[in-house]
Amino acid sequence: MSSTNPKSYPAGPSHRVAFLGLGVMGYPMAGHLALAGHQVTVYNRTPAKSIAWCAEFAGSNGSQRAATPRQAAQGADIVFCCVGNDADLAQVTLGADGALAGMKPGAVLVDHTTASASVARELYGAAKNLGLQFVDAPVSGGQAGAQNGALTVMCGGDPAAFDAMQPVAMAFSKAVTLLGASGAGQLAKMVNQICIAGLVQGLSEAIAFGQQAGLDMNQVLEVIGKGAAQSWQLDNRGKTMVADKFDFGFAVDWMRKDLGLVLDEAKRNGARLPVTALVDQFYADVQHMGGKRWDTSSLIRRLR
Ligand code: NAP
| HSE-CB for 303 with a 13 A CA cutoff | 21
Ligand 1 lined by 81 (C-beta under 6 Å): no
| Ligand 1 atom nearest to 115, measured from its CA | 32
Is residue 28 within 8 A of residue 109, CB to CB? The reply is: no
Ligand 1 lined by 49 (C-beta under 6 Å): yes
Parse the chain into domains and list their residue ranges: 16-181, 188-303
Which of 25, 68, 110, 173 to mutate for ligand 1's pocket (most ligand atoms within 8 Å of CB)?
25
- The reported pTM is 0.96
**CATH class of segment(s) 16-181:** alpha beta
Classify residue 96 by burial, with Cβ atoms within 10 Å: 0-12, 13-18, 19+: exposed
Structurally, at CATH architecture level, domain 188-303 sits in: Orthogonal Bundle (1.10)
189 annotated active-site? yes
Q: Do domains 16-181 and 188-303 have the same CATH topology?
A: no
Classify residue 48 by burial, with Cβ atoms within 10 Å: 0-12, 13-18, 19+: exposed
**Three-class SS state of 84:** coil
Indicate which residue of 104, 128, 189, 226 is catalytic.
189
- pLDDT in 10s for each residue of the chain, 304 residues: 558 999 999 899 999 999 999 999 999 999 999 999 999 999 999 999 999 999 999 876 788 999 999 999 999 999 999 999 999 999 999 999 999 999 999 999 999 999 999 999 999 999 999 999 999 999 999 889 999 999 999 999 999 999 999 999 999 999 999 999 999 999 999 999 999 999 999 999 999 999 999 999 999 999 999 999 999 999 999 999 999 999 987 899 999 999 999 999 999 999 999 999 999 999 999 999 999 999 999 999 999 9
